[in-house]
């Protein structure tokens, strides 16, 4: 046999095996699956903040003091020194009436007092002189008695004249209408030169700083409110703003018809942002806890009636069940299942599952409220229908 032919089958076997082996090796590398890329998410840190638990109600604002000023004398208006709506101090002049006639009456009353005093004094001197004459037998006892009666009558006329003088002076004072307390002047319907009769309403004076807000709470809160409890007042005219006040009155009894407790709170109003008669939202603080774990509300993932959050650590997301506490706009308390400082996913939850690799971007702060406070409006404002 030709030696060269003996190597042909062996060479053919090598050629057949080598491509097959090389092909199999390349197929194994392509079959290995690379790990999926990390999903981009946004995270926020769970923070510790004080929390205020509140009960809500609707209240009505009332003025501390309010009065309709009426004229106590008649006359023509000579001056109106204040404008409608102006803030005035106690004792400030609001209206002046023409007082010339009243001044003349006061002058006449003063003259009558002087005349009666002079007459009484003359009679007193004569009486003293005649008492000596009676002892000397120069006059009769009847004559002395007549002098005594005349003197007493003169004294009575003096007292009457003095009373008339006081009335005249008082009428003169009433011609000038002054503010009995500091407040704000209401509208008026008269002008300088108008004739005012006794009893006519001149204007309203309202003490609108502070104001009082009247509201009610279900009787179940009886043991949780007291004098001095903080309240926060909100109004449609002040969107996004609250004004702080304090409870100033707690009714000593529960209204049997409604099973509610009446309260009043004092609210400062130096900026005159609120008005008597206005309806406002009242939030009364029932409880304050110094520390609570708080996360943005968008971190909560509700599933099957339970609540979860995705906690991010070491580049992976862990789906963790949590128990929620109080809520407030933009935030929620986590009562259990999460520690302060842990990072939770607040954007991108729909793209990940438990254990998913994530690339996290930290969100700074908590939206909707500065750090350090959380007000949770969680309690009902009104009793249920059965109560």
Using pLDDT thresholds of 50, 70 and 90, give the confidence band for residue 126: confident
212 in Cβ contact with 264 (< 8 Å): yes
**Are residues 119 and 143 both part of a single domain?**
yes
Q: Would residue 4 count as lying in a domain?
A: no
Backbone dihedral region for residue 327 (phi beyond 0: left; psi -120 to 50: alpha; all else: beta): beta
Give tens-digit pLDDT for 170-201: 888 888 999 999 999 999 889 999 999 999 99
For the chain, give percent helix, strand, coil, nearest 5: 30, 40, 30
Looking at residue 141, which CATH number applies to its domain?
Answer: 1.10.287
The pLDDT of residue 124: 84
* CA–CA dist 39, 355 (Å, integer): 11
Asked which of 253, 288, 323 is the last residue of a domain, the reply is 288
Strands (E) in 10-126, as ranges, are 39-45, 47-70, 75-79, 87-88, 93-97
Closest residue by Cα to residue 330 from 296, 292, 364, 294 = 296
* CA–CA dist 92, 75 (Å, integer): 20
**Are residues 278 and 342 both part of a single domain?**
no
Q: Which residue has the higher pLDDT, 77 or 126?
A: 77
Q: Would residue 296 count as lying in a domain?
A: yes
pLDDT at 387 over 70: no
Q: Would residue 301 count as lying in a domain?
A: yes
Asked which of 288, 313, 341 is the last residue of a domain, the reply is 288
**Are residues 262 and 278 both part of a single domain?**
yes
The pLDDT of residue 160: 86
**Are residues 344 and 300 both part of a single domain?**
yes
Full domain range(s) for residue 115: 99-174
Cis check: omega of the bond before 194, within 30 degrees of 0: no
Hey, what are 45's tokens? 């840190």
Give tens-digit pLDDT for 84-97: 989 899 999 999 99
**Are residues 258 and 331 both part of a single domain?**
no
**Are residues 108 and 169 both part of a single domain?**
yes
The pLDDT of residue 380: 41
Q: Would residue 26 count as lying in a domain?
A: no
Looking at residue 253, which CATH number applies to its domain?
Answer: 2.40.30.170
* CA–CA dist 225, 248 (Å, integer): 11
- The Cβ of residue 69 has, within 10 Å, a number of other Cβ atoms equal to 20
Q: Would residue 9 count as lying in a domain?
A: no
Q: Would residue 30 count as lying in a domain?
A: no
Cα 22 to chain centroid, rounded:
83
**Are residues 283 and 294 both part of a single domain?**
no
**Are residues 114 and 166 both part of a single domain?**
yes
Give tens-digit pLDDT for 233-280: 999 999 989 899 999 999 999 998 999 999 999 999 988 889 999 999
**What mean pLDDT is reported for the chain?**
83
**Are residues 303 and 361 both part of a single domain?**
yes
Distances (CA, A) of 342 to 218, 347, 351, 357: 39, 16, 20, 17
Number of structural domains the chain divides into: 3
Give tens-digit pLDDT for 35-53: 778 899 999 999 998 887 8
The pLDDT of residue 363: 85
* CA–CA dist 38, 47 (Å, integer): 26
pLDDT at 228 over 60: yes
The pLDDT of residue 10: 47
Percentage of the chain beyond pLDDT 90 is 47
Phi, psi dihedrals of residue 359, rounded to the nearest 5°: -115, 105
Task: Over range 199-214, report the average pLDDT.
Answer: 93
Distances (CA, A) of 316 to 19, 54, 180, 308: 43, 38, 72, 16
Asked which of 240, 273, 288 is the last residue of a domain, the reply is 288
The pLDDT of residue 18: 47
* CA–CA dist 239, 232 (Å, integer): 13
Q: Which residue has the higher pLDDT, 215 or 27?
A: 215
Q: Please calculate the CA angle 373-379-381 and round it to the nearest 5 degrees.
A: 120
Q: Would residue 312 count as lying in a domain?
A: yes
The pLDDT of residue 50: 84
**Are residues 266 and 328 both part of a single domain?**
no
Give tens-digit pLDDT for 314-332: 999 999 999 998 877 788 9
Using pLDDT thresholds of 50, 70 and 90, give the confidence band for residue 136: low
Give tens-digit pLDDT for 17-32: 444 444 444 445 555 6
Q: Would residue 121 count as lying in a domain?
A: yes
* CA–CA dist 63, 117 (Å, integer): 50
pLDDT at 155 over 50: yes
**Are residues 295 and 281 both part of a single domain?**
no
Considering only 58-72, 127-141, 289-303, 347-361, which range has the smallest mean pLDDT? 127-141
**Residue whose structure tokens are 């404002």:** 381
Strands (E) in 136-200, as ranges, are 176-178, 183-185, 195-196
Looking at residue 304, which CATH number applies to its domain?
Answer: 2.40.420.20
**Are residues 281 and 302 both part of a single domain?**
no
């Amino acid at each position: 046999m030709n030696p060269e032919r003996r190597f042909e089958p062996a060479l053919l076997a090598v050629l057949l095996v080598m491509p097959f082996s090389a092909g199999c090796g390349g197929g194994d590398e392509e079959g290995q699956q690379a790990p999926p890329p990390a999903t981009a998410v946004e995270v926020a840190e769970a923070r510790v903040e004080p929390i205020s638990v509140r009960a809500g109600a609707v209240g009505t604002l009332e003025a501390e003091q309010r009065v309709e000023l009426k004229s106590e004398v008649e006359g023509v208006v000579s001056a109106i020194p204040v404008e409608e709506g102006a803030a005035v101090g106690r004792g400030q002049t609001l209206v002046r009436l023409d007082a010339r006639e009243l001044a003349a009456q006061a002058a006449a009353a003063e003259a009558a007092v002087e005349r009666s005093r002079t007459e009484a004094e003359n009679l007193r001197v004569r009486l003293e002189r005649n008492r000596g004459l009676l002892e000397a037998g120069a006059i009769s006892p009847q004559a002395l008695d007549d002098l005594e009666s005349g003197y007493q009558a003169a004294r009575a006329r003096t007292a009457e004249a003095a009373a008339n003088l006081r009335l005249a002076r008082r009428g003169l004072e009433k011609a000038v209408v002054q503010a009995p307390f500091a407040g704000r002047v209401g509208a008026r319907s008269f002008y300088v030169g108008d004739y005012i009769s006794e009893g006519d309403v001149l204007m309203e004076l309202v003490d609108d700083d502070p104001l009082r807000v009247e509201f009610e709470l279900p009787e179940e809160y009886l043991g949780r409110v007291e004098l001095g409890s903080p309240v926060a007042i909100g109004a449609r005219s002040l969107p996004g703003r609250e004004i702080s006040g304090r409870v100033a009155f707690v009714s000593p009894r529960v209204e049997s018809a409604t099973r509610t407790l009446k309260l009043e709170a004092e609210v400062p109003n130096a900026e005159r942002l609120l008005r008597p008669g206005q309806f406002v939202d009242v939030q009364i603080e029932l409880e304050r806890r110094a520390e609570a774990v708080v996360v943005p509300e968008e971190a909560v993932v509700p599933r099957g009636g339970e609540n979860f959050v995705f906690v991010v650590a070491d580049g992976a997301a862990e789906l963790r069940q949590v128990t929620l506490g109080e809520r407030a706009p933009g935030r929620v308390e986590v009562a259990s299942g999460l520690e302060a400082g842990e990072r939770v996913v607040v954007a991108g939850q729909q793209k990940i599952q438990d254990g998913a690799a994530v690339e996290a971007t930290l969100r700074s702060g908590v939206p909707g409220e500065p750090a350090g406070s959380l007000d949770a409006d969680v309690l009902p404002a009104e009793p249920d229908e059965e109560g």
